[in-house]
Amino acid sequence: IVGGSDQVIRNAPWQVSIQISARHECGGVIYSKEIVMTAGHCLHGKSVTLMKVRVGAQNHNYGGTLVPVAAYKVHEQFDSRYLHFDIAVLRLSTPLTFGLSTRAINLAKKSPLGGSTVTVTGWGYTDNGAYADTLKKAQLQIIDRGECASPKYGYGADFVGEETICAANTHADACTGDSGGPLVANSQLVGIVSWGYRCADVNYPGVYVDVAVLRPWIVKAANAL
Ligand code: 4AZ
């Protein structure tokens, strides 16, 4: 998170660190005691035996509980070139015990309105170009899909998929290592960090999976996994 501030895990208890080969790789979001959501590109093509999830932790390196991953599923329409349908669900090897620092978040049923305020959290790159040891947050404004794909910004319609929304703020953004993490409004999950060109560049907003649009897929995939 660039341009953010500290976030206490108790105030984002759905936030997890997806670890591959014992290193923080991506953020993730607790859906249920056994299912975690993340970005498709975080898991795509990787071996499940290398994956673990750290839950209930302030620091992605230690604390909370580290749980192995039993299985995962990336969206059937995931496109690694354009990062369309950039979502995956994974099943933990043992169910979580929920508490003050560990719990699920409800999925939004409606896409957030352009201009509304949302919060993104993660352990991704800060202003100094390294992962944050402790969790950070930033407040952003939603830019609806049509505006994000318009010539006002640098991406164009091919890159801003139908299932995405954008969010930005003048000096704040998600960045490398925040992918897969939550975008939250009114204690509901409205987005999952997907990608962006650079970080906190005014011409390139952060791109997020629109959770309301992919909600049917999430529910079905979680049930089947
Ligand atoms: C990343 O690589 C990443 N500025 C995530 C979000 C953004 C940029 C990069 C948005 O994980």
pLDDT by residue, tens only, the chain of 225 residues: 999 999 999 999 999 999 999 999 999 999 999 999 999 999 999 999 999 999 999 999 999 999 999 999 999 999 999 999 999 999 999 999 999 999 999 999 999 999 999 999 999 999 999 999 999 999 999 999 999 999 999 999 999 999 999 999 999 999 999 999 999 999 999 999 999 999 999 999 999 999 999 999 999 999 999
pTM of the predicted protein model: 0.97
> Which helix (DSSP H) or strand (DSSP E) does residue 209 occupy?
strand 206-210
User: Distance between CA atoms of 111 and 146, rounded to whole angstroms?
Assistant: 13
ipTM of the complex: 0.92
Nearest to 38 by CA among 82, 11, 7, 78: 78
In the structure encoding, which two tokens stand for residue 166, read together?
């954008």
Q: Please tell me the residue having the least CA distance from ligand 1 atom 2.
A: 176
CA of 128 to the centre of ligand 1 (A): 15
CA of 206 to the centre of ligand 1 (A): 7
Alpha-carbon separation of residue 82 from 17, 161, 196, 205 (angstroms): 24, 8, 11, 15
Residue ranges around ligand 1 (CB below 6 Å): 173-179, 193, 195-196, 199, 206
Q: Looking at the annotation, which residues are catalytic?
A: 41, 86, 179
